[in-house]
Structure formats: structure tokens, C-alpha cells
Amino acid sequence: MAPHLEIGKTASYYEEIKARVASHGLAIESVAGTGGIGMDSPAFDAVIEAAQQVGAPAIAEGAGGKSDDEESFKQVVELVNVTAARTSQAGIKLSLKPHVNNAVYSTETALRFMREVDREWVGINFDASHIWRTAAAEDPVGSLQQLRDYIAMLRIRDNRESREGPIGPVETQIPGKGSIDLPALVAVMNTIDHVPYVTLEIVGTHGGTDTPLAEVQRVVEESMTYLEPLFV
């Protein structure tokens, strides 16, 4: 996880980022980790503007709220609908990740959530490692099959056998080194034609961990060696 762009900069700053990304043959799938600016902040308009400037089709956010708390769930739905009305004006979709301990955290809560939001401008950011760690010990493959029509983004990483938090360590997040059935999961991903990219997401090598760049590169290369044959 890294800060890829700053919020509230000039148009030339965003044009430079957009050009550099394109020059490396890469695509901007979304803007995420929005500098600590929440959806409930008036400053979120600057996040929307930044996403629009770099050509990001979506903004990825955590749902927030509290698990199994009806009032919290309703507040999340209301906030998402208000925010999606703002992002839609810029032609940008809002993508929410079902996340351990959040109001939206399971297949059931994600399905309910999608029934109560604007599905044209709101979608699910699916990360199997969070579904894996639900209290109900859900099957991520079955979950993805149920949520497939609502998926806006796909994240992939492995997870240790324990279903308890927190995520980690890094080694068991490397695809093929954990306990999630990634070949079966990717088989479903390969049928979701409306989502063009799958993003490898691994936490624990970010700034402050003193992880050497060579170690980060090893994790990336090992992950890609495992994943590339699955995505055909």
C-alpha cells in the first residue's frame, strides 16, 4: 500500500501522473486510500476531482460502520447514497469493500447493501480474504458467485489458515502460500467480464516497516508467477 497521488493539487500535477502511468503501459483502476478524507467530509469533493483528473473510473472506499448494528448499517447506506450522487456527477463509480468488523462484512450484508443503494453508481470491491475471516466462516468462492452481478472491483491475496484477524503475515498473503482456494476463486473471476482488472493487494511491506525494496519486489514477482497462469 502506497500514497500514489496527493489531493488538492493543480491540474498539471494530475496530468503528469496520468501520462507517467500510461507511459509504463499501466492503467488507473481506481483511486483509493483517499488521504484520510472520509466520504462524510466536504473535502471529499477534492478526492472526486483528483479521480476525475487522472481518469480513474472509480473510487474505492471502506464501508465503515459497525458489524451487526442496524443503525450503523442504515447510516452507511445513507452516506454511500449521498456520496454516490456526488461521484456520479463526475462519471465516477463508488466501490465499497465488505470488510471485517464493518457494517458491510459478509455475503448477506453485501447483498442487502446492494439492494439499498444506486447500483448504477455503487458496486462491491470483493476481497476474499475479508469474506474468509467472517465469523460465519464463509466460502469466498460461493460468496463471489452470489455477488458477481454487483462486483465493481476484484482484489486478490491469500490468507493464513486462521480465520481470525488481523491480516498477515506477508508470507501467507502471497498467492499460493495460504489457505484460500485461489484457483477456484480465479475461475469465477475469469467469468466476470464486466470487471477488466484484478488487483493484487498485500499489506505489511508499507512505509515504516523497514522492508527493503528487493523484498517487496520478491513478493510481487512470486505473486505474479503464481497468478499469471490462472488468468487465461
Grid cell locating 131: 469474506
Q: Please give the pLDDT value at position 4.
A: 76
pLDDT above 70: residue 139: yes
Q: What is the mean pLDDT of residues 84-112?
A: 96
Q: Please give the pLDDT value at position 34.
A: 64
Q: What is the mean pLDDT of residues 118-147?
A: 94
pLDDT above 80: residue 33: no
Q: How far is CA 161 from the centre of its chain?
A: 22
Q: Please give the pLDDT value at position 35.
A: 64
The 10s digit of each residue's pLDDT in 200-212 is 999 998 777 889 9
Q: Where are the domains of the chain?
A: 11-230
For residues 133 and 80, which has the higher predicted lDDT (pLDDT)?
80
Beginning with the edge strand found earlier in the chain, give each strand of the sheet holding 93-97 in spatial order: 31-32, 58-62, 93-97, 122-127, 151-156, 198-200
**Strand runs labelled E in the chain:** 31-32, 58-62, 93-97, 122-127, 151-156, 198-200
In the CATH scheme, what is the code of domain 11-230? 3.20.20.150
Grid cell locating 37: 478524507
Indicate the pLDDT class of residue 167, thresholds 50, 70 and 90.
confident
CA 32/CA 229 separation, integer angstroms: 27
Q: What is the mean pLDDT of residues 101-118?
A: 96
Q: Please give the pLDDT value at position 2.
A: 58
Q: Please give the pLDDT value at position 159.
A: 94
